[in-house]
Every structure is written in C-alpha cells, then in structure tokens.
C-alpha cells in the first residue's frame, strides 16, 4: 500500500494535510476521504480559475472509430463547442451519426425525395448552429421551391474527411438513403487528405482500396478515454478537462522532420513537389470518376460544390494566381469530366464585398452563417431542377 510517509513529502497544503493525518493516526478510510476531498477541492479551484480566465476552448468529443472510414461522428450527441473570441455553436447528431435531430428512414418512404450532402467540416458546419448549415438552409429553400414534394436534405459532412473518406462512406452506407441527388462538397485540403487517409491508393494509374486493417484509426488515446466513466460529459462541460486535453495534444505533437513519410503499401512513390501535386490530382480524378459511376448505376444525379478557402477568396478579389489554386484546378477537372460543378468563389466574393459581410469566421477559416446561406442559395436552383419540381 502506498505509504503516507512518502506523500507527506509533497509540498503545499496536500503535504501538510497528509502529515497531519499520519500524526493523528486516523483510520485508513478517513485518511482516504480527506485526501479525496482535498484533491476535489484543488480541481474545483482550478476549474473556477480557468472559467474566470475564460480563454479555454470547449470542444466536445465528436468522433468514434469506424473500420471503413477510420472515424465518423458519434451518434446521438447534443453539444456546444466554444473557442473564445472565435465561435460558439451547438450541434446535434442522430442515431445514425449524422448532423440531424431525428433518424432518417431506410428505406425511404414512398414519395419522399432526398438530397445527400457529403463533405468535410465545411459541409458539417463547424462554427454554425444546426439550422444554419447550408444543408439545413437548402432544406427550407427546397420546401418553398418544391411545395408539392416531400424533400429531405441529409447532412453527412464529417470534419477532417476527404473525398476518399466520402467515397467509402457512400459505398458502405450512403447509398442506403436512396438519394435522388448527391452533392459532394470539395475543399482544397481534400487533395492532401486523400493521400493521407490510407483508404485508396493508385497503382499503375488505377484506383485500389487498401485493406481495412491497414487504415489509420483514432489511436490509443481515444480508446483509453472511451473507458473513462463520464468522459464525454466532462469534455462537454469541464473547462479543466478541455485545458488538460489541449495541453496533452500540444506536448505530444511530433517535432517537424525533414525525413519524408513512407509511402503506403502498393502506392506509387512520388518524387518532386510538382509530381506530388500531379499525383494528388490524378487520385482525385479517379475518386470522382468512381463516385460518379456508382451513382449513375443507381440513377442518382451527382453535383459538386467547390468551396474556396479565405486565401482564394482574397486572391480572387485582388490579383489572380492562375490555375495553381484548388478551386481553379477542380473547376478544370469538372470541365474535363463534364461534371455539374458549382463554384462558390464568385458567390462568396459577392457576399464578402457587402457591408459587414463576413463569409469566413475570423481566426478559424470556416464559413459563417452568411457563407452557408450563400452556398444554399447557389444550390437551390440546380437541385430543384434535378428534382423537376419547378
């Protein structure tokens, strides 16, 4: 048993308390109760101090492991995320792990038309409430554009996903929703994300799927925290727990290395930086072609929403940098593949130039509620046309 003599050497009030207990020869139960009370008081004081300081982010636990997409949204969650001075918003997931309050029927009800929106954190809607995402706003707009139809817009966006994750989700689960239209939200970091996801790779220019056991997981820390009682509650409500979690991630972040990472098994080696980007665009093309082919086979229309980042928006308003930017590259790919793609760059530029019109969250980079509204407006007419409800 751990000796109180050792603990009595601890500096501060806790050490004095332990010394007092040892001298008074208190019972083991009383000693442990007093120690627990002291620890609780110290933690409560830290919690109070951090709340007064008010500079700690509160980011609830969002993900669970998934064998196919590595991770997905945690089902049946209602939480509030806060980054002081940046954003504060509430989000909800249903039993299927989608950003919605109620589960969607599978198979769908007769007469119901569905729009499935897949994408990353821009599609999920980091920084905006449930009813402010462009999927939720599109739902309301389509109810007006298609008054004689029962239309459901399903938000299947997951923060950190790439096109590779989204294709795997579509094949494994998304097709079961029997959507009339699938909207893919493309963002520039999908190019890097496809390569690092470990789900798909190219060999001799052809697309292959990696074995499930070789794909990245959420890691050992996530599996450990899942065993801690009330961990999700603590992360959602305790400033101290969030501060400790942030501190852990900062301390455990690996130092930058000049050694290039090893290529996944079977993946073509990439040489120069330009060659790497060329490889990424080829992988993107194969993923898009695969996605379009499986949707065409079930009679589902495919639309792509091309979302710029704030740098591309400012560049568009100032001096152009040619086709090196992801939006320009994706629109070029859409033209070559004859896809129905909608460029949000000019749409967001119009909102950006209005008085008090901020379309990106300052200090974060995700779209504001205004940005989501503009995106929904851009999608409303083409989706209504596909549904043939005008």
CATH number of the CATH domain containing 165:
3.40.50.1110
In a shared domain, residues 293 and 168: yes
Q: At what angle do helices 344-352 and 369-387 cross, to 10 degrees?
A: 140
In a shared domain, residues 35 and 160: no
In a shared domain, residues 128 and 47: no
In a shared domain, residues 70 and 48: no
pLDDT for 154-204, tens place per residue? 999 999 999 999 999 999 999 999 999 999 999 999 999 999 999 999 999
Digitized pLDDT (tens) for each residue of the chain, 390 residues in all: 333 443 444 455 556 655 655 555 556 677 677 777 878 787 777 767 766 776 667 778 899 999 999 999 999 999 999 888 899 999 999 999 999 999 999 999 999 999 999 999 999 999 999 999 999 999 999 999 999 999 999 999 999 999 999 999 999 999 999 999 999 999 999 999 999 999 999 999 999 999 998 888 776 666 666 667 677 777 677 777 766 766 766 665 554 433 333 333 333 333 334 458 899 999 999 999 999 999 999 999 999 999 998 888 777 665 444 445 899 999 999 999 999 999 999 888 877 665 567 899 988 999 999 999 999 999 999 999 999 985
Query: 21 lies in which domain range?
Result: 4-8+13-53
Q: Looking at the domain assignment, is residue 236 inside a domain?
A: no
pLDDT of residue 172: 96
Q: Looking at the domain assignment, is residue 235 inside a domain?
A: no
Look at the chain and report how many structural domains it folds into. 2
In a shared domain, residues 48 and 70: no
pLDDT of residue 255: 46
Q: Looking at the domain assignment, is residue 254 inside a domain?
A: no
pLDDT of residue 58: 72
pLDDT for 244-268, tens place per residue? 766 766 665 554 433 333 333 333 3
pLDDT of residue 104: 97
Q: Looking at the domain assignment, is residue 247 inside a domain?
A: no
pLDDT of residue 41: 81
């Amino acid at each position: 048993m751990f000796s109180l003599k050792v603990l009595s050497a601890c500096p501060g009030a806790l050490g004095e308390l332990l010394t007092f207990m040892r001298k008074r020869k208190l019972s083991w139960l009383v000693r442990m109760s007093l120690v627990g009370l002291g620890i609780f008081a110290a933690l409560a004081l830290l919690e109070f101090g951090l709340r007064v300081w008010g500079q700690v982010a509160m980011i609830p636990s969002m993900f669970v492991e998934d064998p196919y997409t590595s991770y997905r949204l945690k089902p049946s969650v209602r939480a509030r995320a806060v980054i002081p001075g940046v954003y504060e918003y509430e989000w909800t997931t249903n039993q299927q792990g989608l950003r919605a309050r109620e589960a969607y029927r599978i198979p769908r009800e007769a007469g119901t038309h569905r729009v499935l929106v897949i994408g990353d954190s821009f599609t999920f809607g980091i920084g905006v409430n449930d009813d402010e995402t462009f999927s939720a706003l599109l739902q309301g707009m389509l109810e007006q554009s298609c008054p004689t139809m029962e239309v459901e817009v399903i938000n299947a966006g997951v923060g950190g996903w790439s096109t590779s994750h989204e294709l795997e989700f579509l094949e494994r689960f998304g097709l079961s929703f029997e959507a009339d239209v699938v909207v893919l939200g493309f963002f520039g970091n999908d190019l890097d994300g496809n390569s690092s996801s470990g789900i798909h790779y190219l060999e001799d220019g052809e697309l292959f799927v990696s074995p499930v056991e070789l794909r990245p997981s959420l890691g050992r820390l996530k599996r450990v925290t899942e065993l801690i009682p009330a961990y999700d509650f603590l992360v959602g409500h305790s400033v101290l727990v969030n501060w400790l979690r942030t501190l852990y991630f900062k301390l455990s972040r690996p130092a930058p290395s000049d050694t290039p990472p090893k290529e996944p098994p079977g993946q073509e080696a990439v040489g120069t930086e330009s060659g790497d980007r060329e490889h990424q665009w080829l992988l993107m093309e194969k993923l898009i072609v695969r996605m379009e082919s499986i949707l065409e086979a079930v009679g589902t229309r495919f639309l792509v929403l091309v979302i710029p980042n704030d740098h591309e928006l400012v560049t568009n308003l100032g001096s152009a940098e040619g086709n090196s930017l992801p939006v320009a590259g994706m629109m070029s790919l859409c033209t070559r593949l004859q896809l129905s793609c909608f460029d949000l760059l000019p749409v967001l530029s119009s909102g950006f130039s209005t008085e008090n019109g901020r379309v990106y969250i300052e200090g974060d980079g995700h779209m504001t509620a205004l940005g989501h509204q503009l995106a929904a407006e851009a999608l409303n007419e083409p989706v209504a046309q596909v549904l043939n409800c005008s």
